Amino acid sequence: MQPVQDLGIAHFLAHADPLGRGILVVLLAMSLLSWYLIISRVLIHALDWWRGENFSRALARIDSLPALARYLDEHRSNDPLSTLAAAGVDAGHKYETLRRSRPAGDPTPGELLVRDFDDAVAAAGTRLESGLIVLASIGSSAPYIGLLGTVWGVYHALVSIGLSGQGTLDKVAGPVGEALIMTALGLAVAIPAVLGYNALVRVNRVAMGRITSLANRLIRTITTGAAPTIGSARAESGASPAAATGAL
């Protein structure tokens, strides 16, 4: 009676060649990187949300741009809403200076104001999207890297079986089954990365809605003197800063 083959993950790792071990190292690095990006981005979003809520409550008590500037000087923060508000204060100062030096009815100050806000919103979006490209790349490429390891493992298994001259089912199924471990590992890396990417994209979309809404309100504050509160209208939250030019 022949002894039962000692097959499994430990046996596969012990007998993997340098390429197979290299693929395992790559998958492990991708997994660690994806989890780091997911956890770090979730923590950053949670902190930004908490700071943004505090800023929104304070903004409800602010009725002018100078008051907003004083608040930002006293409560410095790097959350997206506060950063956009600081950029809006600077843009407001430039707008007032340019408006006084231009004839009445000249649209140039208003156009430059909107461009400044577009740049600030784009910068906020770039900050929110940090790491998402890497996460998407991991989610899309990890299954193929695992499949490469499986194909390489099956190739070596079949070559070994052919050299041994024993083509029975127990000699074929074991090594081939071990090679499928690489595909499973690739999927184990890709699934959390894809789910994390989709969740972060959704959170970014909500955050960008609030940022765009604040940008529109600040443009109205600078041009009309209205209170710079964050609007709750769904349609306004999805509009671009350029849509606020109607108030100019």
Q: What's the CA gap between 67 and 81, in Å, rounded?
A: 16
End-to-end CA distance of the chain: 91
Q: What's the CA gap between 243 and 10, in Å, rounded?
A: 61
- How many C-beta atoms surround the C-beta of residue 208 within 10 A? 18
Domain boundaries, the chain: 9-242
pLDDT number for residue 165: 63
pLDDT number for residue 136: 94
CA dist list (Å): 222 to 1, 88, 96, 109, 167? 89, 9, 8, 11, 81
Torsions phi, psi for 117 (to 5 deg): -70, -35
Cα pseudo-dihedral 79, 85, 86, 88, rounded to 10: 150
Q: What is the 3-state secondary structure (H, E, C) of 100-158?
A: HHCCCCCCHHHHHHHHHHHHHHHHHHHHHCCCHHHHHHHHHHHHHHHHHHHHHHHHHHH
Q: What is the pTM of this model?
A: 0.75
pLDDT number for residue 187: 93
Q: 88 and 218 in contact (C-beta within 8 Å)?
A: yes
Amino acid at 129: E
Tracing tokens 């990417």 back to the chain, one arrives at 197
Q: 229 and 217 in contact (C-beta within 8 Å)?
A: yes
What tens-digit pLDDT sequence spans the chain (248 residues)? 344 455 556 666 666 677 778 888 899 999 999 999 999 999 999 998 998 888 888 888 877 778 888 888 888 888 888 888 888 888 888 888 887 777 777 777 788 888 888 888 998 888 888 889 999 999 999 999 989 888 887 777 777 667 666 656 556 666 677 778 888 899 999 999 999 999 999 999 999 998 888 888 888 878 776 556 654 434 344 455 554 444 44
pLDDT number for residue 179: 75
pLDDT number for residue 143: 93
pLDDT number for residue 7: 54
pLDDT number for residue 232: 43
